[in-house]
Chains A and B, each alone.
Chain A
Amino acid sequence: MDVAIVGIGIHPFGRTAGLSGLQQGAYAARLALKDAGVEWKDMQFGFGGSASAGSADALVNELGLTGLPFINVANGCATGGSALISAFNAIKSGEYDIGMVTGFDKHERGAFNADPKQMGIGEWYGEVGLMMTTQFFAMKIQRYMDAYGISSNTLAKVAQKAFSNGAKNPNAWRREEIPLDVISDSPMISHPLTKFMFCAPGEGGVALILCRADIARRYTDKPIYLKSAAVRSRRYGSFEVFAPSQALKQVDGPTVDASRAAFEAAGVGPQDIDVLQLQDTESGAEVMHMAENGFCEHGEQEALIQAGETGIEGKLPTNTDGGCLANGEPIGATGLRQVYETCVQLRGEAGERQVPNTPKVGYTHVYGAPGISAVTILQR
């Protein structure tokens, strides 16, 4: 049984005073229902996640107590992707015809402060100042730059492109272009990454209506088919966040594994992808994830990014909605934002930021602590 996305809804990302995370989730859910021309009572299941804004299943209090099975999903930054995979499998199994996937969040200002105990690490690790996702990303790109000749200027260009795309996206948080030198010269947060090269925890909500592909045209004349969805956790030897020690010998990380599985299941390759959303919690992540997801060889990013190939008009239009850098990261919603944007692009409804030549196949990728990744491949 193939699966289609027939309704999409989003609450603008950023900071919304006066609206809880849950209310932003409900806002997105109502838009998605309306988009598919269905009602909440038509939903046969719900999968949803939120890290800081309460239980996702509290949505039923907002949308109506219909008795549907609603399952909370919690998988770090891959929460949205994991909820989507759960729904994908629920429909593929033949158990359900139509249901909703949602994710929302509302985080405090400033960097995340994770608790070592929740990751099975001693409290000393946080006390001495090592429990920082920002350090991991900085150390991963530091070594990558040394190994593959990626320049600091390229890191700044990734952020510049993100804000440029964000400026064209009415739902983005950062909607102003930022000049390259301002990005490069902003305070160094964690060498080699400056303030404007990092995304910030934020707020937002996304909802998607999924159904059996064979009934998709009842709800929309532009169904987007979910060709594959894969989630993977880390294997021994991959370099991951929150690791007091790691192997002497490196193996491919969960992104590489999830990507390969998703391509294989969809029966397409990187050359077939017309628009892609890659986890860009900071500039370096986008650079490394281009290669880890198979879109180029390690080191080729330098030339590709300098030539503008990851821009909306380029060969590899990446993070067309501004990515995490311009949208911030509400953990529960971030992965579904990528799927939302891909649907908008494949429907040809992205306006100012529309990728030219009617893209047909899209790709989304998230990465989260403590070493998980989720990938989806979508096709119109």
Chain B
Amino acid sequence: MKPSSMPMTVRFITREAVMYKNTPIAEGLFTWPSKEPALLGSRCQQCNIAEFPQKPSCPACGSMDVQVEELPRRGTLWTWTIQGFMPKKPYLSDETPETFTPYGVGYIELPGAVCVESRLLENSPEKLKIGMEMELVVETFRHDESGNPVMSFAFKAVE
């Protein structure tokens, strides 16, 4: 390798690193970018029912008088399962059937707000128990065609 090629390589990596952009999997699902991301729900100003994701009307009474709010970042596990096989489309991850890893899915009861469905970072039955405390994380879920990380939310057990 010629010594002169080294700076080239370094510059290339640096440029790519700058070009990558973390993008949320959908707009308006959670606050992003944010140091402490939170899920965004809507709350009916008539009957106080909260919903996730945010909607223009209330699922209980149909009122359109709703306001968007940040949902609590911590809650308790209401129920759970483990997805044992790789789903067909519309599932869209970086995985192949060979690299697929079973993932946890659950509902997390967010106090005073709503019970949200989410992927869980835990994926073995021994680590999951109804009623356990969970907290929100926002992480890279997959990469888009240009290699940009696509961010999504999950819940994990509170240590």
Flag if B114 contacts A129 (CB, 8 Å): no
Flag if A124 contacts B81 (CB, 8 Å): no
CB distance from B149 to the nearest CB of A (A): 14
Choice from A123, A127, A139 contacting B81 with Cβ under 8 Å: A139
B155 at the interface (CB under 8 A from A): no
Q: Which residues of A contact B25 (CB under 8 A)?
A: 124, 127-128
Choice from B59, B90, B115 contacting A127 with Cβ under 8 Å: B90
* B side interface size, CB within 8 A: 42
Flag if A142 contacts B92 (CB, 8 Å): no
A267 at the interface (CB under 8 A from B): no
A57 to B55, CA, bound (A): 36
Q: A246-B114, A247-B115 are in contact. Are A128 and B59 (CB under 8 A)?
A: no
Q: Which residues of A contact B81 (CB under 8 A)?
A: 135, 138-139, 142, 190-192
Q: A128-B141, A132-B87 are in contact. Are A244 and B117 (CB under 8 A)?
A: yes
A163 to B130, CA, bound (A): 32
* A side interface size, CB within 8 A: 37
B52 at the interface (CB under 8 A from A): yes
Flag if A135 contacts B83 (CB, 8 Å): yes
A260 at the interface (CB under 8 A from B): no
A232 to B81, CA, bound (A): 27
CB distance from B70 to the nearest CB of A (A): 14
A243 at the interface (CB under 8 A from B): yes
User: What are the interface flags for B93-118 relative to A under an 8 Å C-beta threshold, 1 for contact and 0 otherwise?
Assistant: 10000000001011101000111111
A134 to B91, CA, bound (A): 14
A247 to B25, CA, bound (A): 24
Q: Which residues of B contact A247 (CB under 8 A)?
A: 49, 60, 114-115
Flag if A128 contacts B78 (CB, 8 Å): no
CB distance from A319 to the nearest CB of B (A): 23
Flag if B87 contacts A111 (CB, 8 Å): yes
CB distance from B156 to the nearest CB of A (A): 15
CB distance from B10 to the nearest CB of A (A): 35
A75 to B87, CA, bound (A): 24
Flag if B88 contacts A113 (CB, 8 Å): yes
Q: Which residues of A contact B82 (CB under 8 A)?
A: 188, 190-191
CB distance from B126 to the nearest CB of A (A): 11
Q: A113-B89, A244-B53 are in contact. Are A130 and B59 (CB under 8 A)?
A: no
A190 to B102, CA, bound (A): 9
Nearest B residue to A236, CB-CB: B60
Q: Which residues of B contact A246 (CB under 8 A)?
A: 107, 114-115, 117
A143 at the interface (CB under 8 A from B): yes
Q: A189-B84, A190-B81, A191-B82 are in contact. Are A128 and B116 (CB under 8 A)?
A: no
Flag if A130 contacts B119 (CB, 8 Å): yes
Nearest B residue to A244, CB-CB: B117
Nearest B residue to A189, CB-CB: B84
Flag if A143 contacts B79 (CB, 8 Å): yes
A6 to B80, CA, bound (A): 46
CB distance from B151 to the nearest CB of A (A): 11
A120 to B35, CA, bound (A): 30
A126 at the interface (CB under 8 A from B): yes
A247 to B118, CA, bound (A): 15
CB distance from B39 to the nearest CB of A (A): 9
CB distance from A137 to the nearest CB of B (A): 9
A130 to B25, CA, bound (A): 14
A248 at the interface (CB under 8 A from B): yes
Flag if B107 contacts A124 (CB, 8 Å): no
Flag if B90 contacts A140 (CB, 8 Å): no
Q: Which residues of A contact B49 (CB under 8 A)?
A: 236, 247
CB distance from B30 to the nearest CB of A (A): 11
B125 at the interface (CB under 8 A from A): yes
Flag if A129 contacts B87 (CB, 8 Å): yes
User: What are the interface flags for A183-198 relative to B under an 8 Å C-beta threshold, 1 for contact and 0 otherwise?
Assistant: 0000111111000000
List 16 additional A-B contacts (Cβ < 8 Å) besides A122-B26, A245-B51: A111-B87, A111-B88, A113-B89, A126-B90, A127-B25, A127-B91, A128-B141, A129-B83, A129-B103, A130-B105, A130-B119, A142-B79, A142-B81, A244-B52, A246-B114, A248-B115
7 smallest CB-CB distances across A and B, nearest first, come from A126-B90, A138-B81, A245-B52, A143-B79, A124-B26, A236-B60, A127-B92
Question: Can you name 14 A-B residue pairings with CB atoms under 8 Å?
Answer: A113-B90, A122-B26, A123-B90, A124-B29, A129-B119, A131-B87, A131-B91, A140-B79, A143-B130, A244-B52, A245-B51, A245-B53, A245-B114, A248-B113
Name A residues whose Cβ lies closer than 8 Å to a Cβ of B. Answer: 110-111, 113, 115-116, 122-124, 126-132, 134-135, 138-140, 142-143, 146, 187-192, 236-237, 243-248
Name B residues whose Cβ lies closer than 8 Å to a Cβ of A. Answer: 25-26, 29, 41, 49-53, 59-60, 78-85, 87-93, 103, 105-107, 109, 113-119, 125, 130, 141, 152
